[in-house]
Amino acid sequence: MSSLDNAKLKELMKIEPESMSKEEYESFVSEFKNAQLLLPVEIYSKTQSDEINEPLSFKPVTIEENGCKCIPLFTDNEELKKDNPPVSVIAIFMKDLKDMLEDSSEIDEIMINPSSKDTVCIDLDSFFDLFEVRNNPNDWIFEKARPLNQEVKVYYRELEPFMKKQAVDGVYSSPDPLKASVNMHFDDNIPYLNVLILPKDTRTVYLGGMMDPEMSCDILLAPETEFEFVSQEDEHTMIWKCVNQKFYD
């Protein structure tokens, strides 16, 4: 597994919450929301079939702490080893974890580095609330986005088909900036693939060259970009077309 760079987040976790300045708190929230952390999982089959190609699913490992059911997360392999982790571990972005837990009534807290002296616990409601804060200071990034000069396809992967589940009348609107890749095989260990058709003149922020192409998405779309469902190609592949970008209205 590739190493993750969460050094800044770990440094901020050393500061007691009551001692944090406003700038340190905002920095922590930003680092955490955009972090990719290690999540121990249990792998299982959704059916009783013994077929070799039967798709597998997973659920987060949970631990009990002071009567609360918690999901443990780890900033890096070093922290993971302290906890004698189970065999199966995935790297997950916090936005994807939020989507995965939105319908959960069993989880009480998120716990980062549970075996560290700098453990951070966040109750589930507070975790969700972090993503309700709009990053308005970053709007300038999207205001400078350039329109495409031709139609292109980009790819967005999910642990579960959240886009389809959250679509209203066949239209999905992303409440947050949406990160996608021009590489169809990006993060191909994540099972659900959304093929996003971006017509000519769709405005995008291209991140290629700024990030490691093996680790990061390279296309960024503004909040409130709307996608219309086109077709279901197979159990794990869905086709969408960008039909509106309300951010620019």
Domain boundaries, the chain: 7-46+54-130, 136-248
Strand segments (E) across the chain? 36-45, 56-60, 63-65, 68-73, 89-93, 109-112, 120-123, 146-147, 152-158, 171-173, 178-180, 192-198, 203-206, 219-221, 225-234, 237-245
Domain 7-46+54-130 falls in which CATH fold? Trna Endonuclease; Chain: A, domain 1 (3.40.1350)
pLDDT digits 0-9 by tens, 145-156:
888 989 999 999
Res. 109: pLDDT tops 50: yes
Domain spanning 136-248 has what CATH number? Answer: 3.90.176.10
pTM: 0.53
- CA 20, 93, 66, 18: dihedral to nearest 10 degrees? 0
pLDDT digits 0-9 by tens, 121-165:
888 888 887 776 454 555 667 877 888 989 999 999 999 999 999
